[in-house]
Structure 1
Amino acid sequence: MSEVNKLCMAEKLLETLEVGPDAQARAAVIWLHGLGADGRDFQPIVPELSLPQEARIRFVFPHAPYRPVTINGGMTMRAWYDLLGLEAGSPQDTAGIQDGERRLRKLIDREIRRGVAVERIVLAGFSQGGALALYTGLRYPQRLAGIMGLSTYLPLHQTVADSRAEDNAKTPIFIAHGRQDPVLPFELGEYTRRWLQERGYPAEWREYAMGHQVCLEEIQAIAAWLQRVLRESSH
């Protein structure tokens, strides 16, 4: 594939599912799924959040592109970037992560064009989607309402340390992990929490007695956090 075609693919807007108000949305949550799933994975959570209708929040659930994933034997599946390994020191797919960041930024741009102020946009994600949400949010050059990472980690943390955006240095972050996670070890979540807090980010940490999943208590905490950060961003 030529470099021009690769660039065109990277710039194509991702397909999305949406749950939102009939009236003009006043806020948006862009929520990225995990490896091998798609945008439908977290769509059913929206009614469980029981958010007030007057908040007029649009939830955007994009589908990751299909690509071969090394850690899964090269099998093609929906993935935000290739995964080469999960052990400490494993090489990372820098080009793929940066491609995912470009795609996510285009979704942010679309919400702004649709009338949602950038400071009313939350980036959220689970597992690999949470990793991309953290990476993109910490580097995004305009203040966001919040960043949420569930059962995840921060990829390319040294790159982020050198390129993080001052505008999001105080953006609220919700990060949660299961203590019995067999996919992304609990220690990865703890390391990410320490990394954020040592650099002054207001990271709200939650841990739960669960595996690589979400639980009712976590959903309730997410609902409270979303209401708070969107209420604060409206002032």
Structure 2
Amino acid sequence: MSKSTANQPEPFIVLPTSTHTHTLILLHGLGNNGQKFGTKLLSTGISSKGLTFTSAFPGTKFIFPNARKRRSSAFRRAVINQWFDIASVADPSHRRDTQVQGLVESAEHVRSIIAEELETIPRGNIVLGGLSQGCAMSMAALLSLEFPLGGYFGMSGWLPFREDIEDVVAPVKEEDNPFADDEADGEVIEPPLMAVGLVRDILSLDTATPSKERTSLTTPVLLCHGEDDEKVKCKLGEEAVQCLSSLGMQVTWKCYAGLGHWYKIPDEIDDIFEFLEAIL
């Protein structure tokens, strides 16, 4: 375990009520913590059938990691729980340089939790996800993985460095590429793999060119957002869907009328349960 991972707070864990078969790793939002988020989600996230996460999935272990306290550029340098620093909540892409250190440290932490779970259950039985900044952080961690998970679901979030990823994926016209002739005899790397390599580079991971077999791009994804989200605009969620889809990922998008920056009961919970039941 690295020093940065060892310094991370312990996660809040809710053990399964039957034999452990699956694990959900869910990241909280800005200023929150694992215990508050986990307790709230597991108690109020009730489906139209009256089921909670724990009653619907009795064999599932729920892990709610805790973000470290960091000084916030968006809130006058106040010290709050956040996975990475952001300079603007309204525009998460503003001053992206402030985000890198936290992204690196938090991705390592999330990856270490996944690695620990892999000691007891197969990767197809692990689901990653999060809310708000936890959605953003877990999405970045997902793209960095060398293997697919059983699934991913995010609520009211965005994709960090989305513009940079899209730049890599966008086709380059030959007339716009001054090095086209030089690259003619070189190895052609598919844009999705280049995008994965970029994410791993940002997160200070192995930057060797990834192969199709060593990515998470076949992980099924569900992204949910409120139309009236006043904190993380719905457009940011839509842009994340478009970006992940451009990488060839299977993405389901759900948008809820009248919903702000939270999850909708029971509609969104029903959609999440249906997604989990289908993939697990």
TM surpasses 0.5: yes
| Native 8 Å contact 1:65 1:80 kept in 2 | yes
Alignment equivalent of 1:147, drawn from 152, 166, 173: 152
Aligned-partner Cα distance in 2 for 1:34–1:54: 23
Q: CA deviation at 1:59?
A: 0.7
| 1:204-219 to 2 correspondences below 5 Å | 204-209=252-257, 210-216=259-265, 217-219=267-269
| 1:184-203 to 2 correspondences below 5 Å | 184-203=232-251
| Native 8 Å contact 2:219 2:249 kept in 1 | yes
| 1:31-180 to 2 correspondences below 5 Å | 31-39=26-34, 40-46=36-42, 48=46, 50=51, 56-85=59-88, 86-87=90-91, 89-92=93-96, 93-113=99-119, 115-157=120-162, 158=164, 161-163=195-197, 166=212, 167-180=215-228
Q: Which runs of 4+ in 1 moved over 6 A?
A: none
Question: Over alpha carbons, which structure has the higher Rg?
Answer: 2
Deviations 1:119-149 (A, max 9, x none): 2111110000000111111220022111111
Aligned-partner Cα distance in 1 for 2:37–2:101: 26
- Cα 1:71–1:20 change in 2 (3 A) is same
1:19 is aligned to 2:25: no
Q: Structure 2 stretches of 5 or more lacking a match?
A: 166-193, 200-209
Deviations 1:141-187 (A, max 9, x none): 02211111110011023358242664321210010111111111111
| TM-score when normalising by structure 1 | 0.87
Amino acid at match of 2:33: D
Q: Structure 1 stretches of 5 or more lacking a match?
A: 1-6, 231-235
1:64 match: secondary structure: coil
| Native 8 Å contact 2:8 2:67 kept in 1 | no
1:108 match: secondary structure: helix
- Cα 1:89–1:153 change in 2 (3 A) is closer
Q: CA deviation at 1:94?
A: 1.2
Amino acid at match of 2:101: A
RMSD: 2.1
1:131 match: secondary structure: helix
| Native 8 Å contact 2:16 2:62 kept in 1 | no
Q: CA deviation at 1:87?
A: 2.2
Identity of aligned residues (%): 26
- Cα 1:229–1:55 change in 2 (3 A) is farther
Q: CA deviation at 1:22?
A: 4.6
Aligned-partner Cα distance in 2 for 1:192–1:53: 28
Aligned match of 1:222:
272
| TM-score when normalising by structure 2 | 0.73
Aligned-partner Cα distance in 2 for 1:111–1:168: 17
- Cα 1:102–1:21 change in 2 (3 A) is same
Bigger mean CA offset, 16-25 vs 216-225 = 16-25
